[in-house]
Amino acid sequence: MMSDQSRKPFLHVVVCAASIADDVHKLITAAQERGWGVGVIATPQGLGFLDTEAIEAQTGSPIRSAWRSPGDPRPLPPADAIATAPAMFNTINKWAAGIADTLALGMLTPRRRRLPGSRGCLRCAALWLRSWNSEPKR
């Protein structure tokens, strides 16, 4: 077993349902070229936009989209960083509200306060999204 100091950094990529999701292999390649290990977590609908066999071959890990059972091993190492790409409107709103009804959101929600910069970015995104519901100023 590797020590934490010899372990290469690991990136969790959260993928939502969108036509550009099939380009996630480009993000994986870029991260791997910089020495990162990569694992993919897809929303249930996002899974349908991915070439799962190709991504699993590229990362060497299964794509996660469902919760594991208690006692099952964790298929991915802990994340040193998380990228959500593409991040769709529904996922962003649920993330901002702390709703974790899918594995992908469950991976993001507890990290709202722990990842550097995530709170400020999330706060700005939430305020911007809320502004869409405000009444027009007269």
Q: What is the mean pLDDT of each run of 10 residues along the chain (138 residues)?
A: 69 91 93 95 93 96 92 90 87 84 83 48 57 54
- CA dihedral (18, 126, 102, 55) positive or negative: positive
| Nearest C-alpha neighbor of 45 from the set 101, 107, 125, 108 | 101
pLDDT for 86: 86
Residue 57 is encoded by which pair of tokens?
């071959």
pLDDT for 117: 45
